[in-house]
């Protein structure tokens, strides 16, 4: 942890010199933001606003109970007690950052809606020839129909939505620049206990989500989590007898945890 008292080392952790495409920072960003209508094309910079060490991940515990009394008169009292439990998870380092990226728009706005009268369609083959973009078998199964007459009864008119083409990506366009707040929690380990570290990261992430609610969406997609999690391994612990860095990175990425290998 002492290494990351130096701001330059924190920057190197997030944007290492050999990571020309900033894949690590993109992985941290997409662990929080699910880009539905945008694609991250490049990362301009990351601004570290605050660095804290040994941050407790706390959640409130709610206890409910009731008290009943029968004599001399019948009474019932309901009570709820909320208290903060002792943390069983700690982030070894927590970074509050803001990441500036350039994005491309992948889906544009609805341009027009057209409708087609199905009354003059004479056969399923005729329907398929006019609407070859529809999987007719799946469409009929979805509508729970088996004949053309039933299909026309359910859908007397067919609506077609036409979307405009998304604008071309221009890196110098100010509209392409976006800035996202990103909280990054890191766990440090000097050993290569993959099971323990993966469990710790997922357990702490779950506790963090319960104790720190976040917005569900943003302009361009959904917010998946309140923070991103990374595990920082000692690079010297990886040997020819252990899984490779690539294998470990892939394992943790499958669980939406970023694995990092650093020297002390």
3-class DSSP state for residue 23?
helix
DSSP 50: E
Residue with tokens 């991940």: 57
Task: Walk along the chain (264 residues) and give the pLDDT tens digit of each residue.
Answer: 889 999 999 999 999 988 999 999 999 999 999 988 888 999 999 999 999 999 998 755 556 666 676 666 777 776 665 655 555 789 999 999 999 999 998 876 555 667 778 788 889 888 888 888 788 888 888 888 899 888 888 877 776 666 667 788 899 999 899 999 999 999 999 999 999 999 999 999 998 888 776 677 777 788 889 999 999 999 999 999 999 999 999 999 999 999 999 987
Q: Which residue is it, tokens 């190197």?
A: 12
Residue 83 CB-density burial (10 A; 0-12 exposed, 13-18 middle, 19+ buried): exposed
| Neighbouring-strand partners of residue 50 | 96
As given in the structure block, the two tokens for residue 111 are 């341009």
pLDDT value for 67: 66
Residue 238 has a pLDDT of 94
């Amino acid at each position: 942890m002492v290494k990351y008292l130096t701001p330059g080392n924190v920057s190197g952790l997030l944007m290492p010199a050999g990571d020309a495409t900033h894949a690590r920072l993109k992985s941290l960003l997409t662990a929080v933001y699910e880009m539905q209508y945008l694609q991250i094309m490049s990362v301009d910079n990351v601004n570290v606003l605050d660095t804290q060490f040994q941050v407790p991940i706390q959640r409130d515990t709610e206890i409910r109970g009731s008290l009943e009394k029968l004599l001399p008169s019948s009474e019932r009292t309901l009570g709820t007690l909320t208290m903060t439990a002792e943390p069983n998870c700690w982030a070894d380092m927590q970074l509050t950052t803001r990441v500036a990226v350039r994005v491309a728009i992948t889906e544009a706005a609805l341009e027009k809606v057209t409708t087609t009268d199905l009354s003059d369609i004479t056969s399923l083959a005729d329907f398929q020839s006019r609407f070859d973009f529809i999987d007719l078998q799946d469409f009929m199964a979805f509508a729970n129909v088996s004949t053309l007459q039933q299909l026309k009864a359910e859908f007397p008119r067919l609506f077609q939505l036409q979307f405009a083409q998304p604008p071309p990506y221009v890196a110098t366009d100010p509209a392409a620049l976006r800035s996202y707040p990103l909280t990054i929690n890191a766990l440090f380990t000097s050993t290569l206990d993959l099971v323990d570290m993966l469990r710790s990261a997922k357990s702490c992430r779950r506790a963090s989500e319960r104790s720190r609610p976040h917005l569900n969406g943003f302009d361009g997609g959904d917010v998946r989590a309140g923070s991103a999690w990374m595990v920082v391994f000692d690079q010297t612990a990886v040997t020819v007898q252990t899984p490779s860095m690539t294998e470990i990175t892939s394992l943790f990425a499958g669980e939406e945890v970023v694995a990092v290998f650093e020297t002390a």
